[in-house]
Structure 1
Amino acid sequence: MSEAKELLEFIAHSPSMFHSVETIRGMLDQAGFTFLPEAAHWAVKPGGDYYTVRNHSSIIAFRVGDELTDYHFQMCASHSDSPTYKIKSVPELNGPGEYLRLDVEAYGGMIDNTWFDRPLTVAGRVLVREGDGVRARLLYIDRDLLLIPNVAIHFNREVNNGYKYNRQVDLCPLFSAGELKKGAFDAMIAGELGVRAEDILGRDLFLVNRERGTVWGYAGEFISSPKLDDLECAYVSLKAFLAAKNSRTVNVYCCFDNEEVGSNTKQGAMSTFLQDVLHRINHSLGKTPEDYYQAVAGSFLVSCDNAHAVHPNHAEKTDAVNCTWMNKGVVVKEAANQKYTTDAFSRAVFTNLCREAGVPVQAFANRSDSAGGSTLGNLSNTQVSVHAVDIGLPQLAMHSSYETAGVKDIGYAIEALTKFYQTTLQIEGAERARFA
């Protein structure tokens, strides 16, 4: 229960991908990690704890063993972003009448109708002219600011019969009914940051569901919150990373941006970010290129992104036997089309770790007549090819603005991933793995 409540605080402090990384940085700083800017010289030493950031929205942290007798990388990867709506560069829509609305576009594949009739605000980053240059400033307006109103059923009799929303028409948030005029949005942003409106040169701002997360149910079984996909995995893998010690390897924590829109950005899982960091670790430790290739061959990645639990009203949507339940343990995801990286070898390695940790494991595969999504592992493997397993925690209403998962699974995941980071994997091709 304490971990569930801490997760909710973590999410509350992470209203955008930029804030997610800032929250993670705060936890790393508190644990004594050293920040290594990408543009600076890196002096990495055995026994050191470090992190670096790209685009203020992706972060990689690593702990270097003080012995490094089994030099390789043991990595977890999650993502910092969630489906929402991005505010366009020209933000305001005038009318009808004196209404002032915001012009937004979809970021990721959200469930549109879950965004109606609930308090919203904005968060992200703003680029401001400062002196002879520009500077990024984080913004989160901590108040109920916007709302996307439904059309009354009297005007839309088909709304309960599968109505299709038009995002250009139906999903525009209401900002004012006449008290605010054109230009008020930038004036508001400027006022919140204490700058002049004309000095705002760029914005990456997103809508935020203001509903606070909660633990609920008579038995306290459930946790519901915005952004469980994938801040739940970002949190549990970070807690495990910070708790674990391994003197023989390099443990790595990754939280990438832009998974919800394909990861094909300079800061996404498909970028060179992870590869660049691993190369720089290798070089700074005085290792050779040959050492790097040998280390990668013996490395392992746990791709952490939530999984679909069986729906209580629609069990038919999931496979009859390769299906998962909340509060029943960590999920290993597998797909023949390789949208998940799991294969027999990586499943066996991770399942054995979970058994040693006393953590139950569940299996997920999509129905054979239904296409599933992809995640981080197969994309990051295009740059750093390692043995990898895709895991997650079971949840309901994935990509809703308010999602639900099981309280027990938070603890299960922390225990399993702590065991992963603490155990030295000795991998020999795809034939054998030993656990030291």
Structure 2
Amino acid sequence: MYNAPSQGLLDFLHNSPSPFHATQSMCAALQAAGYIALDERETWQLEAQGRYYVTRNDSSIIAFKLGQHDPAAHGIRMVGAHTDSPCLKVKPQPELTAHSYWQLGVEVYGGVLLSPWFDRDLSLAGRVTFKHEQQLQSCLIDFKQAIATIPSLAIHLNREANTGWAINAQTELPPILAQLHGEESQDFRSLLAEQLQREHGIQDAEVLDYELCFYDSQPAAVIGLQQDFIAGARLDNLLSCYAGLTALLNSDDQYSQILVCTDHEEVGSNSACGADGPFLEQVLRRILISEDDFVRSVQHSLLISADNAHGIHPNYADKHDGNHGPLLNQGPVIKVNANQRYATNSETSSFFKLLCQQTKVPVQSFVTRSDMGCGSTIGPITAGQLGVQTIDIGVPTFAMHSIRELAGSKDLGYLVQVLQAFYNSTNLP
């Protein structure tokens, strides 16, 4: 079995504290593998069997390889994931001062599991846009060191803390950055300008705006008595991005292949660079010039939507359907929902099961309890946009949407192995 090294994922997570940084990390890996960067604003001159990538908004990326076989007749093998994760984002006018403490107002992005954000060593990363020498520029920044925290209220002052405590996102989440003295005040944009100088050597920048998120500065790690688990932030869904990228870089050149990793999945994907926007379709139409080739190729293609699944938690087993409790380290999970929250159907599911059989990868199934709601992915959105046959899969995970999630260390290798087999597959359903 191909066993993708966990250290590669740990490094990827460390270098990808925001969707912008995740996209940058993937660009670097693709460039090192000989992929050519394309600009959407320019005319593309694509060559037979060429390897390319294109980004949008610095936070979404599509990498593609043109195979030896005509994609209109043999389809495109597509893997989709997303670059964003639930987090706390800094507000436009964030400065708060109370009782000598400097805090920042934050907005909750996505379905954040809030309680684990307390008492963590937080850092800050993202994109900053500024004026420098009369030119508008943008740069990515990452403070890396712990610069903030959200202290819990002592249980002596909150006797309900362990019996059901509703967290107020407006008043209880602003992180503390520093303690001020006397009449001292702080300007957040000045702090960002100083970081631009430290990180990029840019002096006298006038910061105009930013998209910044707090993150846990504790690095991801392989843990457990027998090293069974990967613990870290943003496993949902950077683990899938990393697995898809690794599979693409190790696949052969017979068939055309795409990896699409888009932003804003955690808030519905409805954006210019999200899966519910035109990014993927517009790239495909530039690869497949004629309308006939475009439609034929889509109908010959298949998309694997890779996004983490809920593993059965031993302390909360009743939250799962009794026949559908995926276990960590027992292989990827096929996600099914009768109401099309997942795009899996019997044919795409059977194709994936056959791939797993052929590659000796264990496979599991997940269906939400009938009396509980179900999340969704980019799978149904992309299927609805393109009309491409799709399957939703993912590795089982604990604590999804927490500041620190948990996955099985073996499942990374399983996922890479089956995705690589998919990229190399001769026949699609």
Indicate whether the TM-score tops 0.5: yes
* Corresponding position of 2:77: 74
Where does residue 89 of structure 1 map in the other structure?
92
Whether the 8 Å contact between 2:4 and 2:416 is mirrored in structure 1 is no
Structure 2 residue 225 is matched with structure 1 residue 218: yes
- Per-residue CA deviation, residues 277-330 of structure 1 (Å, 9 max, x unaligned), is 0000112xxxx2111111111110000000000001111111101220000011
- The TM-score normalised by the length of structure 2 is 0.96
Post-superposition Cα deviations, 1:333-382, rounded to whole Å, max 9, x if no partner, equal 00011000001011011111111111111000000000010111111223
Q: Is 1:238 aligned with 2:245?
A: yes
1:197 positional shift: 6.9
Number of corresponding residues: 421
1:15 corresponds in structure 2 to 17
2:390 counterpart of 1:384 = no
Change (3 A) 1:209 1:425: same
Asked if 1:150 corresponds to 2:152, the answer is: yes
Q: How far apart, in 1, do the equivalents of 2:107 and 2:404 lie?
A: 19
Residues 192, 325 of structure 1: CA spacing in aligned structure 2 closer, same or farther, 3 A cutoff?
same
1:37-60 deviation digits (Å, cap 9, x = unpaired): 111111112111000000000000
Partner of 1:8, secondary structure, is helix
Structure 1 residues 157 and 125 mapped into 2: Cα distance closer, same or farther (>3 Å)? same
In structure 1, C-alpha distance between the alignment counterparts of 2:69 and 2:376, rounded to whole Å: 37
Separation of aligned partners in 1, 2:135 and 2:412: 44
SS at match of 2:397: strand
Instruction: Give the alignment partner of residue 183 of structure 1, picking from 166, 186, 200.
Output: 186
1:130 offset after TM fit, Å? 2.7
**Larger CA deviation: 205-214 vs 20-29:** 205-214
Q: Tell me which residue corresponds to 1:261.
A: 267
Which of structure 1's runs of 4+ aligned residues deviate more than 4 A? 195-198
Secondary structure of the 1:161 match is coil
Match of 2:284 in 1: 278
Which one-letter code corresponds to 1:187 in the other structure? S
Kept in 2: contact 1:77–1:254 (CA 8 A): yes
Moved more, 373-382 or 32-41: 373-382
Amino acid at match of 2:416: I
Higher mean C-alpha deviation, range 186-195 or range 154-163: 186-195
> Equivalent residue for 1:34?
36
**1:196–1:30 distance in 2 versus 1, CA, 3 Å:** closer
TM-score, with structure 1 as normaliser: 0.94
Give the letter aligned to residue 273 of structure 1.
F
1:304 partnered with 2:306:
yes
CA distance in 1, matches of 2:103, 2:233: 23
Separation in structure 1 between the aligned mates of residue 130 and residue 244 of structure 2, nearest angstrom: 34
Partner of residue 417, structure 1: 419
User: What is the match of residue 173 of structure 2?
Assistant: 171
In 2, the alpha carbon distance for the partners of 1:399 and 1:294 equals 38
Match for residue 357 of structure 1? 359
SS of residue in 1 equivalent to 2:11: helix
8 A contact 2:40–2:54 mirrored in 1: yes
User: In the alignment, is the contact (CA less than 8 A) between 2:90 and 2:106 conserved in 1?
Assistant: yes
- Aligned-partner SS, 2:119: coil
SS of 1:336's equivalent? Answer: coil
Which of the residues 107, 110, 113 maps onto 1:111? 113
Which residue, 210, 216, 220 being the options, matches 1:203? Answer: 210
Measure, in 1, the Cα distance between the counterparts of 2:205 and 2:76: 47
Aligned to 1:429: none
Aligned to 1:381, the other structure's residue is in SS state helix
Q: Distance in 1 between matches of 2:266 and 2:184?
A: 34
Cα distance in 2, alignment partners of residues 10 and 425 from structure 1: 32
Question: Which structure 1 residue ranges, 5 or more long, are not aligned?
Answer: 427-432
- 1:160 is aligned to 162
Which whole-Å deviations, capped at 9, do the CAs of 1:196-232 have from their partners, x for residues lacking one?
6771111001111111111111111111001110011
Inter-partner Cα distance in structure 2 for 1:55 and 1:83? 18
Q: CA–CA distance in 1 between the matches of 2:62 and 2:185?
A: 41
Q: Is the 8 A contact 2:69 2:256 kept in 1?
A: no
Q: Residue 185 of structure 1: CA displacement? A: 2.2
Q: Distance in 1 between matches of 2:402 and 2:427?
A: 37
* Amino acid in structure 2 at the alignment position of 1:204: E
SS at match of 2:215: strand
Work out the CA distance in 2 between the residues paired with 1:191 and 1:360: 50
Contact 1:78/1:233 (CA < 8 Å) preserved in 2?
A: yes
Amino acid at match of 1:175: L
- Is the Cα–Cα contact under 8 Å of residues 190 and 207 in structure 2 kept in the other structure? no
The letter of the residue matching 1:208 is Y
Alignment match, 2:348: 346
Shift of 1:131: 3.3
Report deviation, 1:260. Answer: 0.6
Give SS of 1:148's match: coil
Listed one character per residue, the Cα deviations across residues 249-299 of structure 1 (whole Å, up to 9, x for unaligned) are: 31000100000111001000111000000000112xxxx211111111111
Q: Which moved more, 1:61-70 or 1:394-403?
A: 61-70
Cα distance in 2, alignment partners of residues 220 and 376 from structure 1: 31
2:325 and 2:260 map into 1 onto residues whose CA distance is 27
* Alignment correspondent of 1:371: 373
| Separation of aligned partners in 1, 2:364 and 2:221 | 25
**Percentage of identical aligned residues:** 38
Equivalent position of 1:193 in the other structure: 196
* Structure 2: segments with no counterpart, 5+ residues: none
